[in-house]
Amino acid sequence: METMYKTIILDDDLQIRLLLENLITKKIPQLHLVGKADSVKTSVEIIEQEQPDLVFMDIGFPDGDGFDIIDKTEELKYDVIFITSHDQFAMKAFEYKAIHYLKKPIMPDEVFKAVDRFFASKIQPETLKHHKKSENLLLQDEPRLIIPGIDGLSIVKIMDIIRCEASDVYTIFYMKNSKKLIASRSLNNYEKLFSDINFIRIHSKHLINLKYVQQYLKGKGGYVVMENGDEVEVSVRKKMDFMNKLKDYARSLS
């Protein structure tokens, strides 16, 4: 049975809501439209009620912006395709949890491209399990990750990843061997993939492996110093969650 993804449209422009609704209901059967909203207040309510997989989200609303909506629903896991009239918002959009953004006026082909990016993020054949063929170096005890890049695939041990950093629609991997790899997927995708192991999102741009944290430097949000010497900013809104998880991780080692 084909997977269906719960989808919401958030925009105060009726014509855009109607355009996206028409495309979703008639052209993209994998998306199940479960609601629409035209303000920050109603958007937050419908996200909390429906808990969608994908949200088409305008940046500007009469009572706030799309970033307000994300801040108020940050405990929920969903992907965002932003809608904007202004290119200057693109970088900030990707620093949040956007997998793509649509520039007004919206073209159907661009919508399909954005949705294809969302579908690609759901295909995760990354972790390879243990196998007894010792001569095959790809199949060992430690779980591995297949990183899809522009030029091909790289296969790495997950526990050799020191940290990940968002860069537009890409993710930069900083590895134990000092190498850097660029994946053609968003950081949000890897945050979900690593959610059950010792990785934590400490900033809209940064996902770190707690195994490699050497020091925490106090500040408004503060910084962590990683084993490779990198200083990584902790956002104010992520600080408490980070400190709690760091303490839990330290206790697990004792």
pTM score above 0.95: no
* Position 183 confidence tier, pLDDT thresholds 50, 70, 90: confident
Q: What are phi and psi of 106, to 5 degrees?
A: -75, 130
Of 178, 180, 191, 159, give the one whose Cα is nearest residue 229: 178
Q: Can you give the C-alpha Rg of the chain in angstroms?
A: 19
Domain boundaries, the chain: 5-121, 144-253
What does the DSSP assignment read for 147-168? EE-SS-EEEEEGGGEEEEEEET
- Given a cut of 90, is residue 33 above it in pLDDT? yes
Same fold, 5-121 and 144-253: no
Q: Kindly report the CA angle at 6 between 4 and 7, in degrees rounded to 5?
A: 125
What is the per-residue pLDDT for 108? 94
Cα separation, 169 vs 117, in Å, equals 10
pLDDT digit string (tens) for 224-235? 999 999 999 999
Q: Which residues contact 190 (CB under 8 A, 6 or more apart)?
A: 164, 171, 183, 207
Cα separation, 26 vs 22, in Å, equals 6
Of the options 3.40.50.2300, 3.40.1190.20, 3.40.605.10, 1.20.120.520, the CATH number for the domain spanning 5-121:
3.40.50.2300
- Is 144-253 a domain of CATH 2.60.40.3080? no
- Per residue, the 3-state secondary structure of 48-109, as one string, reads HHHCCCEEEEECEECCEEHHHHHHHCCCCCCEEEEEECCHHHHHHHHHCCEEEEEECCCCHH
Nearest-10 crossing angle of helices 108-121, 14-27: 60
Rounded to an integer, the average pLDDT of 224-247 is 93
Are 131 and 167 within 8 A, CB to CB? Answer: no
Q: Which residue has the higher pLDDT, 154 or 236?
A: 236
Instruction: Provide the token pair at 145.
Output: 């990750």
